[in-house]
Homo-oligomer: A and B are copies of this chain.
Amino acid sequence: AEVFDKELYQNNKLAGVVTGLAWTAVGGEILFIESSLSKGKGKLTLSGQLGDVMKESAMTALSYLKSNAEQLEIDHKTFENYDLHVHVPAGAVPKDGPSAGITMLTSLASIFTQRKVKNKLAMTGEITLRGKVLPVGGIKEKILAAKRAGIKEIILCNRNKKDIDEIDDRYLKGVSFHFVDTVDEVLEIALLPQKVQNALKFEFSQN
């Protein structure tokens, strides 16, 4: 019970839901990063039994987004007038590690812009505060899990290219890869220009 369920990729109808790749003792799995906003005062809530490293990853993603809000056309008042919740199901499975960094950043960018996330896309990679993408482990297992779940495109750190080169080609069939060095490249690939249906219209109190 304490492992991820065998999840399948679903769709990209909702803002803030992005597919990541996890690597546990029993193999690779996909996981979903889910973000939601509600009127509030800028509070951040994290749930899904996240460990310290993963919590810091979420805080780093949020700080990056805040200090680069202008280039994503996010009004800074949004951060002060809405509460953000980031949840990673399944709720009882402890999770840790930095490899969900770019997935979290993409989830936050999507919920704050209300832009759609590219269909059948997954990703794994650590972020740093200045926007670098760092390599992570378990690449082979993660790719197998992504294929199994119906994923067609995967974003990886350039420095993880060597891990792909070591995988037999037949395992890679049907999946294409994006190798990136920066967070900018991740968002350019992952965020579609159009907004989701019934996109949230942000309202700001006078303060």
- Residues of chain A whose beta carbon lies under 8 Å from any beta carbon of chain B: 1, 5, 14, 16-17, 32, 34-40, 45, 47-49, 52-53, 56-57, 59-60, 63-64, 66-67, 69, 76, 79, 83, 85-87, 89-92, 97-98, 101, 126, 128-130, 132, 134-135, 137, 159
The one of B49, B60, B159 in contact with A85, judged by C-beta atoms closer than 8 angstroms, is B60
CA distance A159 to B8 in the complex (A): 13
A34/B130 in contact, CB under 8 A: yes
Chain B residues with CB under 8 Å of A128's CB are 32, 34, 87, 89, 91
CA distance A85 to B63 in the complex (A): 7
5 tightest A-B contacts by CB? Answer: A38-B66, A91-B98, A87-B129, A47-B56, A63-B85
On whether A63 and B90 interact (CB within 8 A), knowing A16-B130, A52-B49, A53-B49, the answer reads: no
For this chain, the copies found in one complex come to 6
Q: Name which of A64, A69, A92 has the most chain B CB atoms within 10 A of its CB.
A: A92
B5/A57 in contact, CB under 8 A: no
B90/A98 in contact, CB under 8 A: yes
Distance of A137 from chain B, by nearest CB (Å): 5
Known pairs A39-B76, A89-B132 / 11 extra A-B pairs, C-beta < 8 Å: A5-B159, A14-B130, A34-B130, A35-B129, A37-B67, A38-B79, A40-B66, A49-B52, A49-B56, A60-B91, A92-B98
A129/B60 in contact, CB under 8 A: no
CA distance A47 to B130 in the complex (A): 13
5 chain-A/chain-B pairs, Cβ below 8 angstroms? A36-B63, A47-B59, A53-B91, A56-B87, A56-B91
Chain B residues with CB under 8 Å of A134's CB are 5, 89-91
Chain B residues with CB under 8 Å of A86's CB are 129
